Structure 1
Amino acid sequence: MSTDVLRLVDIDPAALRELLGAHGLAIEWRAPQADIPGSYWGESEAGLVGDTLYVRPDTPLHSALHEACHWLCMDAGRRRGLHTNAGGDDIEECAVCYLQILLADHLPGVDRARLMQDMDAWGYSFRLGSAAAWFETDAEDARAWLQDRGLLRQ
């Protein structure tokens, strides 16, 4: 796991708030070193509780986007009971990874290539060896899952 990844301190927080807020997900910024409610992995990793994403300045961008995409992929019933563990099955996890890559293109100074680089550096595991190889050649099932749920335009 590399620490050389984009952190929320490196991006425009207003852009992230606007991107996620447009879908109804609130962001609560925590003070440096403060506990992050709903963080599955602990430390600086983003957390989810209900309709709120919890982050702090040292939270990796990929973590914030990943947890946000879990929330985006859930129905209202799952969101109501959401606390820490987003759950979901393997195909949903793939869809979450796919969507977070797409969302990176909507943040100034970030793009999908950088996010995939950060995902690889952090230790995301894809059967083709990299996020980019998976995204470009092996993610049809993730795209179809997102399309079936209206989360991705044809």
Structure 2
Amino acid sequence: MQDITTLADLPASAMTDFLARHGIALARVADDAEIPASYWGAPEAGVIGTTLYARADTPVHSLLHTAAHVLCMDEARRARLHTDCGGSDLEEAAVCYLQALLADTLADYSRERLFADMDAWGYSFRLGSARAWFEQDAEDARAHLTTLPLNASARTLLPAD
């Protein structure tokens, strides 16, 4: 299996600065500690409100995915957010699409790297890969993103149609 990019692979402040630009905090936990509010368990990111929890071995794609969930919620839903981001299947697709848009804005990371990490991790898409889905099968996800209460920083990432 291909190596998956983790928080430890990024420059020390890259994820913290990136998340802060989107109104999200990063709480790092010790390498041997459980990750608070992780839906799937370690090493996946956890979330409570607008704080993401991660260890050095947390995959970057997990942090981006969880951040995208937070960005797709309204304030009332964010205020109740703990562990399970919930949402519909269409929202999940929109989150994956936003995750790819976010990847290009993270220092020392890219959409290409995200797609490789998602495929290696086992994300499942009808067309067989994250890239194929994003490029050929994500029209509904892209359209749904425009209906969600994204904050201004995330809204600027949406493609002009």
Identity across the alignment (%)? 58
- Residue 25 (structure 2) aligns with: 26
How far apart, CA to CA, are the structure 2 residues paired with 1:134 and 1:82?
Answer: 28
Report how far residue 147 of structure 1 moved: 2.1
Q: TM-score, normalised by structure 2?
A: 0.90
Matched, 1:56 2:58: no
How far apart, CA to CA, are the structure 2 residues paired with 1:92 and 1:13?
Answer: 31
Matched, 1:127 2:114: no
- Residue 39 (structure 1) aligns with: 38
Q: TM-score, normalised by structure 1?
A: 0.94
- State how many pairs are aligned: 153
CA-to-aligned-CA distance 1:37-67 (integer Å, 9 cap, x gap): 1100112110001111001100000011111
How far apart, CA to CA, are the structure 2 residues paired with 1:88 and 1:147?
Answer: 16
- Residue 100 (structure 1) aligns with: 99
Distance change in 2, residues 1:3/1:59 (3 Å): farther
Matched, 1:88 2:103: no
Mind listing any 5+ residue stretches in structure 2 that lack a counterpart?
none
- CA contact 1:28–1:53 (8 Å) conserved in 2: yes
Q: Root-mean-square deviation (CA), in Å?
A: 1.3
Report how far residue 153 of structure 1 moved: 4.7
Report how far residue 13 of structure 1 moved: 3.7
Report how far residue 15 of structure 1 moved: 2.1
How far apart, CA to CA, are the structure 1 residues paired with 2:62 and 2:145?
Answer: 19
How far apart, CA to CA, are the structure 1 residues paired with 2:80 and 2:108?
Answer: 34
Pick which of 142-151 and 15-24 moved more.
Answer: 142-151
How far apart, CA to CA, are the structure 2 residues paired with 1:48 and 1:21?
Answer: 15
